[in-house]
């Protein structure tokens, strides 16, 4: 059984726009990742930062969108809802950005972290999503 869009929005705390931005950035990342390992195309060589750029751009667009939503909610005087939303969105964006940054640094060889350390932000985010899902009625 699949989750509905309404359930996904409630559990993840993301809007449809944010979900679409993430999906499009993952699609472009997948294409550039596949081009990296295509022996006929020497476009990307070993530059992981160019391959991860769509994911970072998607995070930047989501952060910009969340900032706009926060300002509009403040103008509408829904302070408590605005603060809760910006805290959740900032945590979500920070954890996903940190994971992508650590993974990209590991792949380029700048840091020698274990993959369990690289995936730590994702584990924390999954625990927060589980808590959020249990709080939903």
Name the DSSP class of 36. Answer: H
Contact 125, 92 (CB under 8 A): yes
pLDDT of 135 strictly over 90: no
Q: Residue 28: left if φ>0, alpha if ψ -120 to 50, beta else—which one?
A: alpha
Q: What is the pLDDT of residues 52-104, one digit of tens each?
A: 999 999 999 999 999 999 999 999 988 999 999 999 999 999 999 999 999 99
pTM for this prediction: 0.88
If you average pLDDT over residues 108-124, what whole number do you get?
94
Q: What are phi and psi of 112, to 5 degrees?
A: -120, 55
Report d(CA 85, CA 95) in Å as an integer: 15
Looking at every residue in the chain, the average pLDDT score rounds to 91
Domain that holds residue 102: 5-135
DSSP H or E run through 68: helix 48-75
Contact 36, 51 (CB under 8 A): yes
Distance of CA 34 to the CA centre of its chain: 20
pLDDT of 44 strictly over 60: no
Check residue 137 and give its pLDDT: 64
pLDDT of 19 strictly over 70: yes
Domain total of the chain: 1
* DSSP-based three-state secondary structure for 46: coil
Report d(CA 99, CA 120) in Å as an integer: 8
Report d(CA 71, CA 73) in Å as an integer: 5
């Amino acid at each position: 059984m699949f989750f509905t869009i309404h359930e996904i929005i409630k559990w993840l705390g993301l809007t449809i726009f944010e979900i679409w931005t993430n999906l499009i950035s993952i699609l472009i990342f997948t294409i550039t990742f596949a081009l990296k390992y295509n022996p006929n195309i020497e476009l990307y060589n070993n530059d992981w930062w160019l391959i991860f750029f769509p994911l970072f751009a998607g995070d930047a667009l989501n952060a910009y969108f969340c900032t706009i939503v926060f300002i509009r909610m403040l103008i509408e005087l829904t302070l408590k809802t605005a603060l809760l939303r910006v805290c959740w969105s900032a945590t979500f964006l920070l954890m996903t950005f940190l994971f992508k940054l650590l993974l990209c640094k590991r792949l380029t060889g700048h840091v020698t972290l274990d993959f369990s350390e690289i995936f730590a932000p994702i584990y924390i985010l999954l625990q927060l999503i589980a808590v959020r899902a249990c709080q939903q009625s």
